[in-house]
Structure 1
Amino acid sequence: MRTVLIVLFDEVQSLDVTGPLEVFAGAEARHAGSYRIRTASLDGAPVRTSSGLTIVPDHALADVPDPHTLLVPGGQGTRGPDPRLTDWLRDHGPRAERLVSVCTGAILLAEAGLLDGHRATTHWAYCDKLARDHPAVEVDPDPIYVRDGQVSTSAGVTSGIDLALALVEEDLGRETALLIARYLVVFLRRPGNQAQFSAQLAAQTAQREPLREVQQWISEHPGGDLSVESLAARARLSPRHFARAFQTETGMTPGRYVDRVRLEHARRLLEDTADGIEEISRACGYGTPEAMRRAFVRTLGSAPAEYRRRFRPAPLGPIRPEPTH
């Protein structure tokens, strides 16, 4: 029996709580005795989430034994938290076998000194703050979640579900995690090193219409001629002017943007289709499987075939929810 304790406080983000809770509850429903889930606030009093939802905790923090997995959600309540909460985390966090945060819950762990010397992430909007306020933490702003020893941190909101599914997979196996993912109608395909943003969201949208049209063209034609010269002609600019304007308005060079779009498209095809590696490499503009392999290894640390084996599981049969009583 692994106890999972979810810490509650006023102005918590409700989905940071309920997303992981549903994952662990789903695992317990399918494997009775696998998890015991508890929620607790400082005094055991109900808390009001940032969206106005009221959650009634099971316990006061002082009354719960040290858990196997201690999960700290984020939300507006992480700004200027009650010092008693930070003190409790500092005292009890090291006793948990796993420390987990969702979104800005990482800030609470950092303020308790529990992320010092660890690699961690949080919501993209707060990564700079986390790095600035806690220089002993190695902040990685890109992944949707990071696992470093006993400490696991995730980015904004829904990534807490991804991380919880990864923990269930570690505890109970991939098939159980897949069943839960399908029941919740989410994908068990987002690896921790997946970027918080798609290529289109990671870059700013250009202000000038010709450059916006070029961004759209790149996304719709990853296998086309996406050289600077070709894209500049489409924008009716000289190559030099186009490259400078594109970087100024999007914060990314044309080549970098094209690389991200092609990699993202290749990943989707590997995950969602049975197309061959050679066919995908042509469709995404790599030209050869070797060129695509180099791009995958450089960015993701695994070759396309290995990526497909890890993130395109065999289909499962229909889910029949087990009775809860």
Structure 2
Amino acid sequence: MDVKHLQYIITVADEGNITKAAEKLFISQSSLSYYLTTVEKQIGTPLFLRQRHGVTITPAGEKYVEACRKIVAIKDELYKEIAELKEAERITICSSSVWGSRFLAENLPSFEKRYPGVLFQVSQVESIYMKPDIQSGRIAFALLSVSPYEKTEKSMELLRKEPFYFAVRSSHKFVEEHPEEEIKLQEILENFANSNFLISRKQSANYITIRHVFEEHEFRPASFTEVNGLYLTADMVANGTGVAFMPASGVISHPGLKFYRVTPRIYRYNMLFSKPIHNQSEIERAFHRFIINSFRDKK
């Protein structure tokens, strides 16, 4: 929608001078004067009275300029709405955990079939950076893990509780003596006090949860090694570097590993962190419901 010629009339009215208006519009004075004369001939009455030091708008000119402003405003609002519509078709989401990335890989194709044309912008971001990104509007959704011992945000929704397993090298003597699939937490604390525990980096949900469990039971292992990544942790356990509590999403089939279910259960929370619902577009609200229902159906 080309309204630049309407803007010519508005600028002349605002400046009260054809020369100044032409300078502001980056066109020649002669071109602007010619356009004004053409419009005035078309409507059959002058819009401006030419004077020595400028122009004075006529009653007809006032009505014409008022109409021009309305048309330009309509155009601006229309373009804004179209831009918002395009933006609404883009969904930004990030994940800080294996379970979140796995969920997106397995489920996004299903949503895209229901809503063709939606563009997803997916990224992996550490959870400590997600809150400012959500609050600033840079991302709409985040899938992250939170410890039960952490304070959660109002805009976080619990998707599921994810249990921890105890991982130990399959050739460890303890595995020979305990071939069962489930062991008590107390057995772990009694038998592995002299072991090196592989633990996630500080501030992570895994770190906060496991350290809290240790403190509750006054358990002090021989040593800790901070490891960034579940798969790296699994490899290190298989190589005999240490033992570890790992969330269910990190449990893999590995000939060098034995995973035990632990009683009583130790959990971390899988959460959906999203921008306020009233700030979400229609397509974002649909995706919000899709995530919630996907986890609800699996319960």
Identify, as 1 or 2, the structure richer in strand: 2
Q: Same fold (TM over 0.5)?
A: no
Does 1 or 2 have the higher relative contact order (CA < 8 Å, sep 6+)? 2
Bin of the TM-score, shorter chain as denominator length: under 0.3
Q: Which has the larger radius of gyration?
A: 2
TM-score (norm 1): 0.20
